[in-house]
Every structure is written in structure tokens, then in C-alpha cells.
Structure 1
Amino acid sequence: MNFDEHTWQESAWRRIRHTLFCEETGLVYDYVTSRDHSRRFAHLPSPEEIALGFPNPCGWSTGMEDCALNGGFLLDLLRFRREEDSDFARLAAEGLIRCAEVHGTPGFVARGISPRDGRSCYGNSSRDQFTLATYGMWRFLSGGGVIPERLRQRGVTFLRSVADYCERIVTPANACNLMRLDGRPAIVSTMWNCAPHEALRLPMIYGIAASVTGEPRYYELMRRYAAAGLRETLTMNPEADWWDMPVIQMQLSLNFFAESGIAPELESGVRRAMHTAAAIACPRLLALLREAEEFDGDWGMLYDNWRQLPMKVTPVTLAPDGGSALFGGKSYLNPVFRDEYARPNALLRGIGNYLATIAHSDDFPFPETLLERTARLLRRIDFSRCAGVGILPLLYGYTAVTYHKFQLQGEEA
């Protein structure tokens, strides 16, 4: 089976828009478990399970762990598709806004919202959800689309509330942690004094709030962290054991500073770091392409109901003596996906994230042969059957590469 360029892209887009997206919540969920449209989200946690933090307070592997993150990718993808002023873009923006309001703690970006009651959400968010949700909303508001004034103001309020939450909560007293909704420390939520690829997340959030509100205090907060964050970012080791999600989020955090011009004194270092990120991505993209070209499984295999899978303890929650596996009074059991569907989804996600990382570095040469090789692979896949959300970053990355390619061609002409 071989699809043409337009057909595979529109097939992937329809799968995102009509299968993984939920109209009732305005969110993109992580996977489906049925080809029956009305049953595709039957596996999602019940409000009772969510209230108990089962199987873990992050909702990992349940299908609603990354809705806010997905929404950030989606809003920027809509910009690349020149659909940022569509009704669908407004639905997606409202979904993200809802993630920071529904629980009554303004600015806390919940990972997702249960479609069953339209309000239940897990209490442990993450640095990644905050990063991509704010970046995507900034793109939505600054993309040039015609946005209803009420929605624009709600988007600005969303970004202001996230920055205010971080100012209030991400403090030395809380070990610079985003904390859970119950006020206890959260996993994967340290926003400062963290790894190089994470060091610009907090200053980006403050910078975005400054750029959309013009309020001096957000500029001051950004300046408090930005220069030090960039210095830390520049200490990254390109030979480290990278994977795709940290690389793309680092690149997008850098890209905010590059495109907004909000801190011109950092531009040289930002561009250098973006080039390094692209250099990290390129060989890893090649490795994933090789693996994907050799993959002989089913790209469209449905996911299992997570409740029927084995679960493992999250290592960071295990006490040094092995006598407890609770963190902040909660257990973090993580359902273990089967490789038959997890691996193809990870391949598509990784290829997309590495493509996007390279696309955002203007001075990194992207070989035409590499784009052609990627296109050949993707024309073989029937995206109308894909069950996982890896197709969203995949389409985002591929669209970003072609968008930037045509932009550069226009400048050269």
C-alpha cells in the first residue's frame, strides 16, 4: 500500500481531529481501544479512579496523561496548517484553558479532563504539560488568526494564571516544584535547579506572560531566570542518552526566545543552543528511520485496556531500603504497554519530534534526501487505523519542516 503526500497527511489529520480529539472536552487523548467510535474512549479512567489517584496520580498510561501537552502541539500545528482562526482551533484553545480552571486552582495545568463528567483530573501534572500548553497558547494568540475577543482574553488570562501559579508555588520552600493539587510534592515537576534541557521552561513561562500582557513584573520574573537558564542549557552534552520529548521541548523553549525577541541580549546563545539541539536530533532521527523502515508489525494495532495490564512501581517512589513505594502518601503504579502497539507509536512520535527540532533551527542544514526518505516511509502507513497519539507530533514535525522549507525558499526568491 502506498499513499500520496496529500493523502497520508490528511488521513493522519482526520485521525487526530475525529478520533483522538474529544469535542466535549476540547482535548486530544493519548490512544483509543476500539474502532467503534462511540467506544473509543471506554478505557479512560472513571471519576472515582481519578479521585483515588489510581493507578497513579499522573494518570500515566491511562489515555489521559498528556492532553495538555498534546493541545500545545495541536495549536502550533494549526498555525502551520494556516487554520489558527478555525472553529476547531478555538475548541482546542478552550480545552487547554479548561485544564487550568476546572479544578479550582487557577494556573495549575492539569494533564487532562475526564470526558465522563467534564471535570475530573489527576492531581500530579508535570513540567512537560506546563511547557507545551503555554507554548501552544502563545502560538495561538500570536499567530495572526482572527480570534474572538472573549476567547483572546481567556487565553491571556490562562497564560497569566500559569505564570502567577509558578511565581507562587515554584519557590525554594517547595524545592522549585509545581506540587500536586493536594499540596504535596509532585513527580516530574521540578522547574528550577534542574537538567540543562529543562532550564528554560520556567523563564519561558514568565516570558510568554510578559509578551502577551506587557506587565513589567513578568519581565522581571523572566529576567530573574532567563540568563542563568540559558547558561545551564548551553552545558548540555550532545553525546548524552537523549530521547525525543526532552529535545523538542528544549527547542521550543529556545524558539520562544528566538522568535519573540523578548531578550535580545540572549539571542546569540539561544541560536547556538538551537543549533546544538538540531545536531542532537539529526542522528537520532536517522536511527529511528532505520528502525521504522524495518518494522514489520501493525502500525494500527489497538491499545489494551490499561486495567488488564501488569503494573510496575515507579522507581523514584521506592524507599532506599525498599520498605515503601509511596510518594507523598500515594502509590505510583504504571501499567506496562505491550511493544506491539507502544513501539510503533513511539517511532512515529520520535520521528516527528526530531523533525520539528531540526526545523526550528534556521541555520541547521536539513538534507533534502532525509526529507524524501521520511516521506517514503510515511506514504506506506495507513494512518486511518493508527490508535496512538504519536501521529500528532509526527504530523507536527513533518509540517514544520515543509513549512520552514517553503519559507526559506520564498526568502531566497
Structure 2
Amino acid sequence: METFMDYLSSYEPGKEQAHLPTAEEVGRQYPNPCGYSTGMEDGMILGGAMLSLLCDRFAVTGEESLREDAAKVFSGMRRCVTVHGVPGFVARNVCPEDKKSVYINSSRDQYTHFVHGLWQYYRSPLADEATKEEVRGIMAAVAERMIKFVTPENDYDFCRADGERCPLRICRMWDVQAHEAARLPMIYAAAWDTTRNERYRTEWRKYVVEAVKQSATPDKHKPAYAFLQMQISLEVLHELEPEKSLKAEIGKTMKHVSSLAEGRLDYTVKGIAKKSPEEMRMLGPDWRLVKAWKNQKGYKNPQWGAYREIWHLTREAGESALIPLLVEGGKITPEQRQLFSGVVLQTDYLHNSSCGIIYHLATYWKARRLGML
């Protein structure tokens, strides 16, 4: 399928993801328009993360086989932004049964990793010129959607695939929380960097100063995924920022985010230590069979119960360790290295059902690229 799903519900070969929605279920937007809890909800977050780590691995090893691997990931991401025929709309994932059905509600989180991953790929030797041309077209389409929809009159919402506003407010790109403020100018900056279209540079400069100002004081209680998405947004802005004073301010905020992540890593490792090896090998559920469902503004969401924590701990360990490595001259302390190494050594990767292991790989290859391992 060339895209990544959220969890495994079986370790039996051929049945690992039998829980995924059918084309008929996706077609009627069941159980909800985000595909929440079905295993299809974070495909572009994971695709962007995987594409980024492949770029890091190639920088370390130069393995020619990675060109094909990266091309497959890119193909899946391209499918999610084109298969539905809605220009610039980044679907979360594509139904593996018919390879075309999508849930109509995306999120700013999906866009953040999607754009960041493509930006990294574009700047990597892994992408040939034909691929770069495709990336330019995709980036332009995404930026144009932002220009068209993300306006005060539309409450800064880039909207669902059907053109309706998202009732959950997860598609709002401006007038948001501190950890989300850099997302919109990051998209415009990446679009400008790949296309050199001054239209996108103008939009980037319109928002960036205020975005950096708002980013300076994130809520320290946010989960690691929020800090990671904040950090990769700031990474793009820092890399491309031409004004020295603003660049320095972005770098300062990135270091602050790294310090917040240190606390998250320690907290997560302690959480994992409380779990038995058997608990950490827990499988995800068939969401159709769970008894507890949550109704949020009309979106009915199956609840995973005890598995949610197992899935989350695996993911948060990798995300927390990765965040400090994204700062210019990034490094991890001996304490952080010890904490993350302990997680890696204790994880049974053949029997871990969480997509969070992608972030373990991302941390490893970023650290290798920086010469820390």
C-alpha cells in the first residue's frame, strides 16, 4: 500500500492489520470522518516521519536500495494528496482495499509532517529531478489551498475534503496554540523553498514574525507529538530564515522545546518501566468490537482502553528523544542517551504493535547522522 498504519491487531502473518476499515466503511465515513481509532488516522504523520528518517539513513550509509524505499513512501504520500481529486487536500491515509477511498477530515498535524517530510526529501540526494518536479507541484497545491481557505472569514480553517469546516478545529491553521503557531508559515516557507514562487514567500513573511513570537511560550504539559510537530515546523523556519535576529530567536525557542522534551522522555521511560514485557507486547483491538465509544461533536470514536497507553508510551519515547536532535548542532545528553538506549534494549521489536517504533528508528538515524552513535 506504500502508506503506514497506526497499529497491529495480530502478529499472525497476513492478519496483522485485518482490523483496517473496508472501502464500504470508509465510503460512508464510518466510524467518523477522521478514521479515528481505525488504524488509518495518522498515515501522513507517519509517512513524513519515515521519509525524513530515510533521508537521514541515506546521509549516513549511502545505501542505493534506499532510493526505492523512499520512492515507495513518496508514492503513498502522493496518492493521499491526489487520489480524491481535491487540490491540496492531504488525506490521512488511503483504504488498502480499493486504494482510493479516504476519510474526508484531515488535520494540521497531518499537514505538518507531510510537508516537512517532502521538504526533507526534496533537499536530499534521494530525490531525482522528475521527483522534485512532482514535489514542487504538490507543495504548490498545498500552499494554494492554504491561501484559498485559511482566511479570517473562514476562521483560518483549511476545511475538509467536502469543503466544510472541521467541527473539531483540528484544521485551523492560525489563531491557534503556541505549539501550533509555526505550522502555517512553515508550509508557505517550504513551498517557496521548493518552487521559488514569490507568492509563497509573501505569505511566509506575512505570518512568520508573529508565529515566532507566539511559539516562544508553549504549554509545558503538551504531549511529545505536539512538541515534535512544533520542532519540525521551527526547523524549516530556522533553516530558511534570512534575518539573523529572527533566526536566533527561532533557535532559542527550539532549544526551549528540547528542554521540555527532556522531561517528557524521563516521564515516558518511567511509565514503560512500570509495564511488564507482556504488556508492552499488547496488540491493538479490532475497533468494531470495543464497547466504549466517545462522541465528540458528532464524531463517534471507538476507545482502545488499556492499549492506548501502550501505543502511546512506545511512540512518545521515540518522539521525546528525537526532538533535541533537531536543533542546529543538536545533541543529546549522556542521561538522555542512557534513557533512550534502555527503551531500545527493552523493546521487543518483533512483537511491538505500535507505530511508535518509527520514531525509535528516526532517533537512531538522526543521532547517527549527527555523529552521536
Give the TM interval when normalised to the shorter protein: over 0.9
Q: What is the letter of the counterpart of residue 235 of structure 1?
A: T
Report the TM-score when normalising by structure 1.
0.84
Q: Is the 8 A contact 2:262 2:336 kept in 1?
A: no
Partner of 1:246: 226
Q: What's the TM-score, normalizing by structure 2?
A: 0.93
Alignment of 1:267 onto 2:233: no
1:41 is paired with a residue whose SS is coil
Q: Which residue of 2 aligns with 1:143?
A: 124
Structure 1 stretch displaced more, 78-87 or 45-54: 78-87
Match of 1:209 in 2: 191
Offset at residue 405 of structure 1 (A)? 4.1
2:54 is matched with 78
Q: CA deviation at 1:38?
A: 2.2
User: What letter corresponds to residue 190 of structure 1 in structure 2?
Assistant: R
Match of residue 302, structure 2, among 335, 347, 361: 335
Change (3 A) 1:373 1:193: closer
Measured against aligned partners, the alpha-carbon deviations of 1:189-245 in whole angstroms (never above 9, x if no partner) come to: 1100000110110000000000011111110010011111111111324xx421111
Q: Which residue of 1 aligns with 2:205?
A: 223
Percent identity between matched residues is: 30
> Residue type matched to 2:121 in 1?
F
The 3 A distance-change label for structure 1 pair 275 and 314 is: farther
The 2-side partners of 1:289 and 1:175 are apart by 39
Shift of 1:301: 2.0
2:33 to 25, 48, 57: 57
Is 1:114 equivalent to 2:95 in the alignment? Answer: yes
Is the Cα contact below 8 Å between 1:211 and 1:262 reproduced in 2? no
Query: In 2, distance between residues paired with 1:363 and 1:95?
Result: 32
d(CA) in 2 for partners of 1:182, 1:293: 45
Report the 3-state secondary structure (helix = DSSP H, G, I; strand = E; otherwise coil) of the residue aligned with 2:280: coil
1:397 maps to 2:363: yes
Does the aligned pair in 1 maintain the 2:265–2:317 contact within 8 Å? yes
CA contact (8 A) 1:177 1:189 kept: yes
State the 1:133 CA deviation.
Answer: 0.2
Q: Which runs of 5+ in 2 are unaligned?
A: none
User: What's the offset of the Cα at 1:335?
Assistant: 0.8
Query: Distance between the aligned counterparts of 2:358 and 2:331, measured in 1?
Result: 24
Q: Which residue of 1 aligns with 2:314?
A: 348
Q: Match of 2:82, SS?
A: coil
- Deviation track 1:336-377 (CA, whole Å, cap 9, x = no partner) reads 1131x3322211211111111111124676321331232133
User: 1:30 corresponds to which residue?
Assistant: 6
* Pairing 1:232–2:193 present: no
Is the 8 Å Cα contact of residues 350 and 394 (structure 1) preserved in structure 2? Answer: no
Deviation string, structure 1 residues 47-69 (Cα, Å, up to 9, x no partner): 22112221111001101000011
What SS does the aligned partner of 2:301 have?
strand
Deviations 1:291-311 (A, max 9, x none): 212321432222111000124
User: Matches of residues 293-332 of structure 1 in structure 2 within 5 Å?
Assistant: 293-296=273-276, 297-315=278-296, 317=297, 331-332=298-299
**2:139 corresponding residue in structure 1:** 159
Structure 1 position 93 matched with structure 2 position 74: yes
- Asked if 1 retains the 8 angstrom alpha-carbon contact of 2:321 and 2:340, the reply is no
1:289 aligned residue: 269
Letter in 1 for 2:288: R
Worse-matched range after superposition: 93-102 or 147-156? 147-156
The question of whether the paired residues in 1 share the 8 Å contact of 2:119 and 2:190 is answered with: yes
Code of the residue aligned with 2:247 in structure 1: it is E
Question: 2 CA distance for matches of 1:181 and 1:165?
Answer: 11
Change (3 A) 1:217 1:264: farther
User: Aligned letter for 1:81?
Assistant: R
Query: Using the alignment, how far apart are the partners of 1:59 and 1:257 within structure 2?
Result: 31
* Paired position in structure 2 for 1:16: none
SS at match of 1:39: coil
Quick check: 1:30–1:64 contact (8 Å CA) kept in 2? yes
Change (3 A) 1:204 1:49: same
**Structure 1 counterpart of 2:149:** 169
Are the counterparts in 2 of residues 77 and 396 from structure 1 also a CA contact under 8 Å? yes
Q: Aligned pair 1:359/2:329, yes or no?
A: no
Secondary structure of residue in 2 paired with 1:119: coil
Instruction: Kindly indicate whether residue 347 of structure 2 is the aligned counterpart of residue 381 of structure 1.
Output: yes
> Is the 8 Å Cα contact of residues 203 and 229 (structure 1) preserved in structure 2?
yes
Quick one: distance in 1 between partners of 2:233 and 2:176? 15
Q: Which runs of 5+ in 1 are unaligned?
A: 1-24, 318-330, 408-413
Equivalenced residue count is 365
| Residues in 2 aligned to 1:97 and 1:163: alpha-carbon distance in whole angstroms | 15
Residues in 2 aligned to 1:148 and 1:107: alpha-carbon distance in whole angstroms:
22
